[in-house]
Amino acid sequence: MILRTHYTGDVTPEIDGTEVTLAGFAHEIRNLGGIAFLVLRDRKGFAQITLVKKLVDKATFKKVAGISRESVVQVRGMVKAEAKAPGGFEILPTEVQVLNAAEVPLPMDPTEKVECELDTRLDSRFMDIRRPCVLAAFEIESAVLRVLRDYFYRQGITEVFTPKIVAAATEGGTDLFPISYFEREAFLNQSPQLYKQMLMGAGMDRVFEIGPIFRAEEHDTRRHLNEAISIDIEVSFADDKDVMDILEGAVVSAYQYVAENCSRQLAALNLDFQVPKAPFKRITYTEALELAKEGRNVPMQWGDDLDTETERFLGETIGEHYFLTDWPSSIKPYYTLPYEDRPEICRGFDLMHPRMELASGAQRVHDHAMLVERIRGKGLDPSGFEFYLKAFRYGMPPHAGWGLGLSRLIMTMLKLENIRDAVIFPRDRRRLVP
| End-to-end alpha carbon distance in the chain | 33
3-state secondary structure of 92: strand
3-state secondary structure of 197: helix
Phi and psi at residue 187, in whole multiples of 5°? -140, 155
Q: What is the dihedral of CA 244, 247, 251, 256, to 10 degrees?
A: 90
Angstrom distance (rounded) from CA 252 to CA 301: 34
Angstrom distance (rounded) from CA 64 to CA 196: 57
Q: Mention every residue, 6+ apart, whose C-beta is less than 8 A from residue 352.
A: 311, 314, 315, 318, 321, 322, 323, 324, 358
CA atoms within 13 A of residue 20's CA, in its CB half-sphere: 24
Q: Mention every residue, 6+ apart, whose C-beta is less than 8 A from residue 97.
A: 73, 74, 75
Conformational region of residue 399, where left means phi above 0, alpha means psi within -120 to 50, and beta covers everything else: beta
Angstrom distance (rounded) from CA 229 to CA 427: 12
Q: Mention every residue, 6+ apart, whose C-beta is less than 8 A from residue 185.
A: 178, 179
SS in 3 state form for 222-235? CCCCCEEEEEEEEE
Consecutive H or E run containing 281: strand 281-284
Cβ atoms of 38 and 51 closer than 8 Å: yes
Consecutive H or E run containing 8: none
Which residues are the active-site residues?
A: 215, 217, 223-224, 357, 360, 408
Angstrom distance (rounded) from CA 140 to CA 227: 20
**Which amino acid is it at 227?**
E
Consecutive H or E run containing 11: none
